[in-house]
Structure 1
Amino acid sequence: MKVLLLFAWLFIFPVNSFAQKIKIMKTDTVQQTEIRNAIEQYYFKGIYEGNTELLKQVFHKDALLFGDIKGVPYYKTATQYIEGVGSRVSPQKSGKDFKPTIISIDVINTIATAKLNVKMYDFNYYNFITFHKIDGKWLIVNKTLTDVEL
């Protein structure tokens, strides 16, 4: 009787129905390369040179920036941020160190995130950038940042 109940249970509740289904995502190196280029050629270069035109090309016009700098909450629209970059002395002109690093890039379909470290002036920023591919172009739609003591 026990054997019959065991077989009945196995037919009613198949063993594999409890197994977790895992979908393996393929890494799309083409998309990662496009994002890396957007970061290096527009974002990093724009910040370093104080080039607002480069930044306008990589930020979506409605992007928002959130975070904290030296413990103070930070919030800006993309327009406010880009204007601020344009009005300050650029790292290039200041002669101060500028060391940007891409830590990681993750892509799923038309969205992506990038974790960056940007050392400039007396700051050690960590940025989490969200990209969205719009009309064939990777644009920054959100940036969060924090400053960590060196």
Structure 2
Amino acid sequence: MSGLSTDREFAAVVEMLQHYFDGLYRSDTRILRQVFHPKALYATATDGTLLELDMDRYFPIVDGRPSPASRGEERADRILSIEFAGPVTALAKVQCAIGERAFTDLLSLVYVDGRWQIIAKVFHYDIKPAQ
């Protein structure tokens, strides 16, 4: 976890990422709306076709699914890296799990309106082996 940052900026990104993990684990779009920029992009091509959504299409999906918390799933979120490209731009690579899917997310971050926000989430997922 390196790059061009101060300890304060780094801590602010880590705190924002914790809110991101909490929002996903609870399927809580009130939390997720605080970490995603309203114009953020959500994209994956894991199954061979591009899926891209804006937040107006992504949040109802989150609202409609049972949360990992409600199913008693063990949390598997972790920050793999944070890289700063400058004082208002960063990239975070994180992992988490929802149901049978283990996700690796590449989160492009911007510092606007006095806080760090996700402007793009591009991700890959694998199906976890049955236990």
| Aligned equivalent of 2:78 | 101
| Aligned equivalent of 1:32 | 10
Give TM-score scaled by structure 1 length: 0.76
SS of 2:70's equivalent in the other structure is helix
Higher relative contact order (CA 8 A, sep 6+): 2
Q: 2:114 aligns with which of 133, 136, 144?
A: 136
Could you give the per-residue CA deviations for residues 10-68 of structure 1, whole angstroms, max 9, x where no partner exists?
A: xxxxxxxxxxxxxxx6442211110110010x211111111111101111111011113
SS of 2:50's equivalent in the other structure is strand
Provide closer, same or farther for how the CA distance between residues 140 and 26 of structure 1 changes in structure 2, counting only shifts above 3 A: closer
Higher-Rg structure is 1
| Aligned equivalent of 1:115 | 93
Between the two proteins, the alignment pairs up a number of residues equal to: 125
For structure 2, list consecutive stretches of 5 or more residues without a partner in the other structure: none
Structure 1 CA distance for aligned equivalents of residues 47 and 67 of structure 2:
20
Give TM-score scaled by structure 2 length: 0.87
Q: CA deviation at 1:148?
A: 2.7
Structure 2 CA distance for aligned equivalents of residues 88 and 73 of structure 1:
21
- Say if 2:31 is the partner of 1:54: yes
RMSD of aligned residue pairs (Cα, Å): 1.6
| Aligned equivalent of 2:65 | 88
How many percent identity over aligned positions? 24
More helix by share: 1
More strand by share: 2
Q: Choose 60-69 or 44-53, whichever is displaced more.
A: 60-69
